[in-house]
Amino acid sequence: MTATPITEPQSVTTLHERLLESERLLKETDSYAGLENLELRAADPLKYESMHTKLRSMVVSAREMARRISASPGVREVGESVVAIYTPEGDAIALSTGIMVHVHTASRFIKWMIQNGYEESPGIRPGDIFANNDAFIGTVQAPDVIITIPIFHEDELIGWVAAVAHELEVGGITPGGDVALSQERYTEGLMVCAEKVGYDDELRRDYLIRLERNLRMPIYWVLDDKAKVAACLEVRKQVRELIDEVGLDYYKRATKEFIEEGRRAQLARVRQLTVPGRYRGHTFFGHVTEGKQGVLPQGNRNWLYAIPMEMEVTRQGKLSLDFDGTNSWGYHSMNCTPAGMDGGMFVTLTQHMNFDGKVNDGAWLATDMNLPLGTWTNPDKETVATATSWALLLPAFGCFQRMLSRGFLGRGYKEEVFVGQVNSPMMEMGGESQYGGDFGIALFECAAAGSGALGIKDGLDTAYVGWNPESDMGNMEIWEQDMPMVYLGRTISPNSGGFGRYRGGSGFESLWAVTNTELLIPATSEHSSRVFDNAGMCGGYPAPTVQLHHSVKDAGIEQRAAERKPLPHSIGDNPYESDIERLTDGQTKIDEGPYLAEPLQSGDLFAHSYNGGGGYGDPLERDAGSIARDVANGYVTADAAENVYGVVVESNDNTSTVNAEATQSRRRNIHDERLANALPVSEWIEQTRSRVADGDFAPEVREMYRDSMELSPRFAGEFRNFWSLPSDYEIAKRSRR
């Protein structure tokens, strides 16, 4: 059959008008592009599905091809890229695997150009190449560089293809991509603000010169951009071939139907997997930077972030998230733009609801978010830094996963219950490379944290991050080629997964010896201090995500090796004294919060840890045999097995076995200790009330409450109500002098 052409009013001629028209249709008809029926799908489902499969295979194969020609280990080794096809208005139709968080951020970028008159100036013509890494236009953080090209059919712009890669170096105040020390936009590195960076299918020479002169390691960004352009051109060619095959009218109508089908599928999936109602949760993040080297005066403090969240599922199946009550943006790098929040929502939906069928922007259209202006989720100033948005974004969307999981649990889909994603702290560095000359890199082995537990099994060990479900830590030997450090070890961190009937997945830790350099500047980010930035569920405990850095000057490794003394290979399983302290000659320095401290040089040691995920269910219900296996494999120490799980494991060289009698008695003890130390909640509230009334909290905690209460009357009301405080109760602002 011939497709019913999408009838566009005669007056709709420019892209801008088409975008407005598309928004109007969605608003007025409540369906994408005003589509009432999925006509093509009904008429010939095989043809329709076949076209979708073709589009999807185009983007998947283009991404793989780009990985083969790209230079940066971020893209090549750990797959930090994604490719997607868009409608002329910038709505995603089909996307590849990879960092799917960016499918929707690229959508924002395309729409932004249309809204800002790019059709007139600088013009959108066949062969043009546009780039953006400005989070307020449409990306998460400066290293997420998006390349997009228009697809023309004769004279008509009929779509876009975009490719995104996370760059390992952006030329900011500290080396790497997630510029840890940036506190304002002006220190985040090289910004490309929806710029026309090429024409006639070639990147402009002056753009490449700008990259070469402003980055510590331009080769990564330059070659990744070329790979992204190649991927886009390949997809453009194949889309044109597809249009020759199916006809332009069919292509236009079918791509709109894909999105509308995605939107309807999302609503149906919510109704299928969850329960309508109000869900709540929270998470917190501690950022300790007061007095650190290089911190600007306006941000010279510690921050405690509260992220209370509410999710509403309506009877229609519409899912909305509300961040009311969270804290203000600040002079640090952890702020997020609405584009980044969209990205977090989108990538989470693709993993839990929108993982089969038509994965596209339709799912996003069926959801809603309240991002209060002035908070870290929606800063009221576009000069704030967003270089480490993930720090707050990942814990927030981990909480979203727990709220969704409460719905899955209600429906009996326990295999989908997931305690959620966690931050995976980033290790970046620069200085003088082992080859001589400057260098800078993000060591992307962080793309393989532990996941939260599932409702029916343990979390994944060192194999999951929320932003890229195809997680990979990359080979040590590859990373060693790109930095003046060698691994002394890369090890599962014992007890790093939250305890529970099903334990959270384990994180890992790396220990390096610095070699062949006089100047190594590490900079780390996205690790919470003093508070766990994740949670357990149904009786499971949070993972202990308060990472410290161990560094040693002149550790004497060469000398110790020559003398055949034992060397440290990890931080070790003694929580009170690390192997680094025990097995090196120099003084071990332990740093809390982002590592913004003395540079290192040959002969020094440095250790960095990645997080595990939260646990599920009461740990006393964990099967004792699983704990013996955890102890044998180094996931859990014998001490934790006994103290938390109440399982006494006896190990010799080859085996770990459960002492059943001692276990029974220890589990009985834990049961008794629970009763002995617990009291009714009402009594606890009564006892705690005066402390709250007096505001007897650490300064950072007081400031967190003051700020949340000032920003959110609802939060303030609920806080006063919970503690039965007078209606004029407030917490005074701390003087900055």
Of 283-322, binders to another protein (CB under 8 A) are 284, 286, 304, 306, 308, 313, 315
How near is the Cβ of 117 to another protein at its closest, in Å? Answer: 45
**Pairwise CA distance, residues 176 & 522, whole Å:** 9
Query: Contact with another protein (CB under 8 A): which of 262, 705, 709, 712?
Result: 705
Taking Cα atoms as reference points, which of 375, 427, 405 lies closest to residue 273?
405
Q: Does 29 bind another protein (CB under 8 A)?
A: no
- Answer whether 239's CB lies under 8 Å from 85's CB: yes
CB-nearer residue toward another protein: 114 or 716: 716
- Answer whether 154's CB lies under 8 Å from 119's CB: no
**Pairwise CA distance, residues 356 & 26, whole Å:** 23
Query: Contact with another protein (CB under 8 A): which of 48, 279, 329, 376?
Result: 279
Task: Render 516-578 in DSSP notation, one character per residue.
Answer: S-S-EEEEEES---SS-SS--BTTPPPP----EEEEESS--HHHHHHTT-----SS-S-SSS-
Q: Does 487 bind another protein (CB under 8 A)?
A: no
How near is the Cβ of 698 to another protein at its closest, in Å? Answer: 4
- Answer whether 442's CB lies under 8 Å from 178's CB: yes
Q: Does 674 bind another protein (CB under 8 A)?
A: yes
CB-nearer residue toward another protein: 68 or 411: 411
Binding mask 351-370 for another protein (x = CB under 8 A): -----x--------------
Q: CA geometry: angle at 422 spanning 141 and 625, to 5°?
A: 160
Q: Does 619 bind another protein (CB under 8 A)?
A: yes
If you compute the radius of gyration of the chain from its CA atoms, what whole number of angstroms results?
A: 26
**Pairwise CA distance, residues 509 & 176, whole Å:** 20
Q: Does 482 bind another protein (CB under 8 A)?
A: no
Rounded-to-10 torsion of CA 249, 253, 255, 259: 170
- Answer whether 449's CB lies under 8 Å from 547's CB: no
DSSP H/E element including 83: strand 81-86
- Torsion region of 366: left, alpha or beta (phi above 0 gives left; psi -120 to 50 gives alpha): alpha
Q: Does 546 bind another protein (CB under 8 A)?
A: yes
**Pairwise CA distance, residues 260 & 93, whole Å:** 10
Q: Does 618 bind another protein (CB under 8 A)?
A: yes
How near is the Cβ of 450 to another protein at its closest, in Å? Answer: 14
Q: Does 280 bind another protein (CB under 8 A)?
A: yes
Structure tokens at 383: 């000069």
Query: Contact with another protein (CB under 8 A): which of 132, 578, 588, 601?
Result: 578
Angle subtended by helix axes 218-246 and 248-273, to nearest 10: 110
- The CA distances from residue 661 to 639, 646, 656, 672, in Å, are 17, 11, 15, 17
Number of residues lying near another protein (CB under 8 A): 85
Q: Does 89 bind another protein (CB under 8 A)?
A: no
Taking Cα atoms as reference points, which of 620, 628, 683, 681 lies closest to residue 646?
620
CB-nearer residue toward another protein: 57 or 574: 574
CB-nearer residue toward another protein: 276 or 603: 276
Task: Mark the segment that binds another protein (CB under 8 A) among 2-10, 12-20, 241-249, 688-696.
Answer: 688-696
Task: Mark the segment that binds another protein (CB under 8 A) among 74-82, 164-172, 553-561, 612-620.
Answer: 612-620
Count the Cβ atoms, other than its own, within 10 Å of residue 121.
8
**Pairwise CA distance, residues 298 & 314, whole Å:** 42
CB-nearer residue toward another protein: 299 or 498: 498
- List strand residue ranges (DSSP E) for 204-360, in order: 277-288, 302-313, 319-322
How near is the Cβ of 572 to another protein at its closest, in Å? Answer: 10
Q: Does 722 bind another protein (CB under 8 A)?
A: yes
How near is the Cβ of 524 to another protein at its closest, in Å? Answer: 16
Q: Which distant-in-sequence residues (6+ apart) come within 8 Å of 445 by Cβ?
A: 78, 427, 473, 474, 479, 490, 510, 610
Task: Mark the segment that binds another protein (CB under 8 A) among 250-258, 269-277, 441-449, 597-605.
Answer: 269-277
Task: Mark the segment that binds another protein (CB under 8 A) among 99-107, 338-346, 375-383, 498-506.
Answer: 498-506
Binding mask 517-536 for another protein (x = CB under 8 A): -------------xxx--xx
Q: Does 642 bind another protein (CB under 8 A)?
A: no
**Pairwise CA distance, residues 379 & 341, whole Å:** 12
How near is the Cβ of 542 to another protein at its closest, in Å? Answer: 5
Task: Mark the segment that binds another protein (CB under 8 A) among 112-120, 183-191, 328-336, 698-706.
Answer: 698-706
Q: Which distant-in-sequence residues (6+ apart) come within 8 Å of 234 by Cβ?
A: 58, 61, 62, 65
Query: Contact with another protein (CB under 8 A): which of 671, 686, 724, 733?
Result: 671
Q: Does 335 bind another protein (CB under 8 A)?
A: no
Q: Does 272 bind another protein (CB under 8 A)?
A: yes
How near is the Cβ of 576 to another protein at its closest, in Å? Answer: 4
Q: CA geometry: angle at 598 spanning 596 and 603, to 5°?
A: 125
Q: Does 421 bind another protein (CB under 8 A)?
A: no
CB-nearer residue toward another protein: 275 or 632: 275
CB-nearer residue toward another protein: 198 or 452: 452
Task: Mark the segment that binds another protein (CB under 8 A) among 107-115, 165-173, 187-195, 692-700.
Answer: 692-700
CB-nearer residue toward another protein: 298 or 316: 316
Residue 242's identity, in one-letter code, is L
Site for another protein in 137-166 (CB under 8 A): none
Q: Does 691 bind another protein (CB under 8 A)?
A: yes
Q: How far apart are the first and last CA of the chain?
A: 75
How near is the Cβ of 415 to another protein at its closest, in Å? Answer: 5
Count the Cβ atoms, other than its own, within 10 Å of residue 336.
29
Site for another protein in 447-466 (CB under 8 A): 455-457
How near is the Cβ of 145 to another protein at its closest, in Å? Answer: 34
CB-nearer residue toward another protein: 160 or 303: 303
Q: Does 633 bind another protein (CB under 8 A)?
A: no
Query: Contact with another protein (CB under 8 A): which of 4, 116, 383, 574?
Result: 574
Q: Does 394 bind another protein (CB under 8 A)?
A: no
Query: Contact with another protein (CB under 8 A): which of 47, 210, 414, 629?
Result: 414
